Amino acid sequence: MMLSSEEIERYARHIVLREVGGPGQAALKRARVLVIGAGGLGAPVLMYLAAAGIGVLGITDDDRVALSNLQRQVIHDTQRVGHAKVDSAATAIGRINPLVHVETHAKRLTAANALELIGAYDIVADGSDNFATRYLVSDACCIARKPLVTAAVGVFDGTLTTVRAHEAAPDGTRNPTYRCLFPEPPLAGVVPACAEAGILGALTGVIGSMMALEVMREIVGFGEGLVGRLLMIDARAMRFEMLRYAWDADNPLTGDRATIRDLSHHA
């Protein structure tokens, strides 16, 4: 895929990088990325992927912009309060980079529509804010054979990993699933929601930006990805740690006695 003179100038700082270059920038231009959620994590993901020249950005969110969102959801502004988040985000992306094509899906991801939505994209970035959606997305990506970059934030902490559960490692061992890391979601009420516990706004910017970086690394193919590695960030101590995890033969998705064959258990 050829780059225009405008694109060569716009993405010049990428193109001069040996790890990216013209071929890497062309790969970004060809890519179709679905971002789940246009909130605290989705906002920086969308902004940096748009600036990077991703060819098609899909946005899935059924919410509207609220004043309380603006402390962290930096893709929206005061004038967009009350507007659908997908429309607000699309408007902002158009200002950042009009060369990016945006596909908006103003609906909640469900077991009925997840495979169709996810199947239309090359890679998924999950910035959802609840466990039900997170497990639905990870199961759907495995079934649809799509790579997934997924993150979560707490009050002062965050995590990030990449899941390619449909593939094997270079040595032939199976890649782990999200359920190899977290077999089941916590019981309802154990982890308080953002509205109850609060969230440090800039932390979502840090984690969301790292999600965008990981998506770009997966598309271009440089560096050591986060497959089988969970990056953990403690903002109080400004501490970064890495946890390695592996395929679990007992996981219900790709294990030896797998019980999850479709998304009917999410209905």
Q: Which domains are present in the chain?
A: 19-266 (3.40.50.720)
138-141 — which CB contacts under 8 Å span 24+ positions?
138/163, 138/165, 138/177, 138/178, 138/179, 139/178, 139/179, 139/253, 139/260, 139/263, 139/266, 140/114, 140/115, 140/263, 141/165, 141/166
Evaluate if pTM is beyond 0.75. yes
Residue 267: pLDDT band (50, 70, 90) is: confident
Query: And the tokens for 163?
Result: 């899941």
- Residue 122 scores a pLDDT above 60: yes
- Residue 193 scores a pLDDT above 80: no
Find the mean pLDDT for residues 262-266: 89
The pLDDT tens digits of the residues spanning 59-108 come to: 999 999 999 999 999 999 999 999 999 999 999 999 999 999 999 999 99
**Measured CA angle at 27 (ends 40, 242), to 5 deg:** 50
Looking at the chain, the whole-number percentage of residues with pLDDT higher than 90 is 85
The whole-number pLDDT of residue 189 equals 60
The pLDDT tens digits of the residues spanning 233-254 come to: 999 999 999 999 999 999 999 9
- Residue 176 scores a pLDDT above 80: yes
Find the mean pLDDT for residues 197-223: 94
CA 233 and chain centroid, separation: 17
